[in-house]
Structure 1
Amino acid sequence: MALPSEAAAMDASGDQFGQRPFLEAELYRSASVAERERQVYAPRFWHPVAPLSSLPEGSALPLELLDQPLLLTHPPGGPPRAFLNRCPHRGVALLPPAQAAQPCRRLICPYHGWTYDLGGSLRAAAREAEFVDPFAREDWPLIQLACAVRGSMLWVSIGQDPLPLEHQLDLVEQELGPALERPRVLLASLESELACNWKIAHDNTLDDYHVAIAHPTTLHRQQGPVRHYRHRFADHTNLLATPVPLQGSGADAEAPEFLTFGAPPWIHLLAWPDGRLALISFPPRDLGRCRLQVWLLGDPAQTDLGEAWIEELRSFLDEDRALVESAQRGYTSGLTPGPAHRLERRILHQQALYARITGLEPPFSARA
């Protein structure tokens, strides 16, 4: 569901969102709301599932997305594919969970030996002539999911009618343009679990009000003074842009910008002038837990710097961990959220989108 009326009415300041309240605390602790998010909100969007460089041609990668077993494959000479990781015969996973892609030519079910190629077509079944009913291999392909490549990442949709990916990333596409499709490889990554609802983690990463206070020696040094902040809002994505001064440049030289995008369902993209791109996402685990997932992508020539750069990200993310887990306890205790600051408009923007997609319009109610 797009937001044309919201976007058309919004100027660069996003001021109309200043009249909206924050989502009420009950939406962060309600099991029925969490189920609605899985059934209505998450299927509306595409989900980044792996860096493209992590899935070489001739390999397969089993993983989970929102408790669904997925199997990514990359047939030689063809585009990557995404399937449900289950044999159509009796539902057994074709490959067990793994931390990295596995080279393979065929996918063989460990239960009854049904054998598939990396394109999802059944190539053989044990004792084919002995099925009770007439049997045709073409009737039993793997169940395929929509899969796309954007920003050197693989995106998968678990819904039947997802928003077009270019709409979901509207402002990212506008601001980065062709630079978004610059080839990148995975330089470094980190992953952990946060003891908070995903919405608290997402809100926090959209919160430009806390940066100078909570991250004075880490993120604030990257983003610089609040007076230099530039904000933009589109139908689905918003942006904080901050200048990065160049050493030795004249006073009149226009500084390149460090870009921080917030996008649904729970993702953030950071873009540096040197071509680095970081994805931060918070896929939910259960009502009070989510995953923190970070991929740092860049040019292969930057590989030696990857670990140092990911440590810079880890420094402020560790500071945020204490804040979001404390906020979870506050929301669980019956908090009524206070007034929104002008530097919290990116939170309000994403919350308005969330409310429309889930059907939880003001007055917000966990019983809707």
Structure 2
Amino acid sequence: MAALDAIRQDVIATAARPLDQAITLPPAAYTDEAHFALEREAVLKSGWLCLAHVSQLKTAGSYLALDLFDEPLLVVRDKAGEIRVLSRVCAHRAMDIMPDAPASGKVGLLVCPYHRWVYNLDGSLRGCSQMQHAASFDKRDWPLASFRSEVWHGFVFVNFDGQAEPLEQQYADFARAIAPWQVAEMEIAIDMAWDCPFNWKVMIENWMESYHHIGAHSKTLNLSMPGEATWSEPEHPHFIQAHLPYTDKLRGELAAAAAGGDKVPGFAPVPGLSDEQAHEWGLFVGHPCFMFLTTHDRVLWYRLLPVAADRCTLLTTTLVSKAAMAAADFEASLTSETEMLRAFHCEDMVVNAGVQRGLKSAKAVRGRLSHLEEPVWLIQRHLAARLQGRHPARASRAPYFGPRAAKAAE
């Protein structure tokens, strides 16, 4: 317990440093199983975790089956159209009711294969043979357990401890920032599953900082969104937002395409975006680990499921508008964009796995952070706050860096 508390106190002390003195967290924060168990309760299960998008659950009986924190979960649309997060644990003898089912599919009823107890899609018990001699037995008393869930802008979230404030409140500013994309009306066009041999924080730190474009993505993303041009919004209690502006070259190509010139690779542009929104990648992480990205023609969402101190699973998805899917060149764009996404995803997988190996080394040091790694510092501050049972405070200042910071300094 003393060793665990020492890690916790180190995380809190590290996060208290100002940005220009920021360093990395202690390696044990990424490798120690006891610390992961602490984060699981204090950070992850106390927050909202994203499991699905409504486009994966279009009709009654559509489901996703997944396991998280030793809980067999079922995300399902019932016959009334409501999306629920149910336990797959049978109320009879604790059998997983879908032990061999595909990860996604469609069902009419939920049937436990052990003793054939049958449940409706809303989790209520429909039938159970040979229970007539059980005294005072009432089917209404034996539904599948459910977890607190909400649908926010088309995404299905679960809160394990049942205490998080509603997403409508937590993510109100987040919702305003992404409103033009109408992501609830989009559909998943590309998805890729990854088994990741690294800590969940390694993933979200890599996701949010674009300093590594200079290295890991030097031949891909850095050509259109140079790492040195990126900047972050001031601290928010419930999410982080960063800006990755396009190069002048790419801006010119997009303008020429809009005027009838050669098409830029990608999908049909999202209408109604501001000039800034249409010419950058907008990076977000909704605490604790909702990874979301906006561009001029799509949205990316990464479903991150922490498993252990050195492992997580990831589903990387691309969502596009129905208009984009109806375009004549959609299939060709889908093929080329899938390959592009796989290329930079693989670059990230290599560096993330390499970071985890390095963190286990006796020679690992506490590195200094660049100003371009401000999102990593903000992640630290969120973690430290949650380990103290609170949320970070909202910053009342201009950004430290970027065009808005420069304007404020004039």
Residue 384 of structure 2 is aligned to residue 355 of structure 1: yes
Rounded Cα–Cα distance in structure 2 between residues aligned with 1:181 and 1:313: 19
* Structure 1 pair 319–181 and aligned structure 2 pair: CA distance change class (3 A): closer
Q: In the alignment, does 2:271 pair up with 1:287? A: no
Per-residue deviation, residues 251-285 of structure 1 (Å, max 9, x unmatched): xx9452321112322232111122x2111243222
Q: Which of residues 255, 259, 279 is equivalent to 1:247?
A: 255
TM-superposed deviation, 1:170: 4.9
**How far, CA to CA, are the matches of 2:359 and 2:275 in structure 1?**
43
Equivalent residue, structure 2, for 1:321: 349
281 and 50 in structure 1: CA distance in 2 versus 1, 3 angstrom threshold:
closer
Shift of 1:178: 5.3
Question: Once the 2 structures are TM-superposed, how far is the Cα of residue 313 of structure 1 from its aligned partner?
Answer: 2.1
For residue 261 of structure 1, what is the aligned residue in structure 2? 284
SS at match of 2:150: strand
Amino acid aligned to 2:315: Q
What per-residue deviation string (whole Å, max 9, x for no partner) do you get for residues 102-148 of structure 1? Answer: 332221221222221111111222123221x2111111121111222
Distance of 1:88 and 1:242 partners within structure 2: 49
C-alpha distance in 1, partners of 2:103/2:218?
Answer: 36
Residue 128 of structure 1 aligns to a residue whose secondary structure is coil
Give unpaired runs (5+ residues) of structure 1.
Answer: 1-14, 362-368
Give the aligned partner of residue 77 of structure 1: 80
Letter in 2 for 1:105: G
Q: Hey, what does 1:345 align to over in structure 2?
A: 374
SS of the counterpart of 2:255?
coil
The 8 Å contact of residues 49 and 289 in structure 2, kept in 1 or not, is answered as no
Give the match for residue 46 of structure 2. Answer: 44
| Cα shift readout 1:26-49 (whole Å, capped 9, x = no counterpart) | 211111101112222211111221
SS of aligned partner of 2:211: coil
SS at match of 2:378: helix
Look up the SS of the partner of 1:262 in the other structure: strand
Match of 1:165 among 167, 170, 175: 167
* Per-residue CA distance 1:62-109 (angstroms, 9 max, x = gap): 221233100122112321111110111111122235445333222122
Match of 1:271 in 2: 294
The equivalent of 1:365 in structure 2 is none
Report the equivalent of 1:109: 112
Q: Give CA-to-partner distance per residue, 1:183-241, whole Å, 9 cap, x none.
A: 01110101112222222222122222221232122121342463364544321211222
Q: Distance in 1 between matches of 2:170 and 2:295?
A: 21
Q: What is the TM-score with the length of structure 1 in the denominator? A: 0.84
The match for 2:56 is 54
CA deviation string 1:276-325 (max 9, x = no partner): 21112432222222223211111234343334323222212211222122
Whole-Å separation in 2 of the counterparts to 1:36 and 1:342:
29
Question: Contact (CA 8 Å) 2:282, 2:295: kept in 1 or not?
Answer: yes
- Mark the CA change 1:157 to 1:310 in structure 2 (over 3 Å): closer, same or farther: farther
Alignment equivalent of 1:332, drawn from 360, 376, 385: 360
- Counterpart residue identity of residue 144, structure 2: L
- Determine the C-alpha separation between the residues in 1 that align with 2:36 and 2:357: 17
Call closer, same or farther: CA 1:140–1:18 in 2, change over 3 Å.
farther
- Residue deviations 1:316-348 (CA, integer Å, cap 9, x gap): 221122212221122111322211111111001
What secondary structure, in the 3-state scheme, does the structure 2 residue paired with 1:95 have?
coil
Deviation of 1:357 after TM superposition, in Å, equals: 0.9
* Residue identity matched to 2:112: C
CA distance in 1, matches of 2:386, 2:314: 23
Q: Within 2, Cα distance between the matches of 1:360 and 1:19?
A: 25
Comparing 83-92 with 238-247, greater Cα deviation is found at: 238-247
Q: Which deviates more from structure 2 when the two are superposed, residues 84-93 or residues 223-232?
A: 223-232
Aligned residue pairs total 343
SS of 1:24's partner is coil
5+ residue gaps, structure 2, are 1-16, 260-273, 326-330, 391-410
Structure 1 residue aligned with 2:210:
208
Contact 1:149 1:155 in 2 (8 A): yes
Q: How does 1:111-150 map to 2 (within 5 A)?
A: 111-131=114-134, 133-150=135-152
* Distance in 2 of aligned mates of 1:211 and 1:241: 13
Quote the offset at 1:159 in angstroms: 1.9
Q: What fraction of aligned residue pairs are identical, expressed as a percent?
A: 26
1:235 counterpart (214, 233, 237): 237
Distance in 1 between the 2:21 and 2:170 partners? 24
Partner Cα distance (2:275, 2:181) in 1: 19
8 Å Cα contact 1:184-1:297 kept in structure 2: yes
Superposition TM-score, scaled by structure 2 size: 0.76
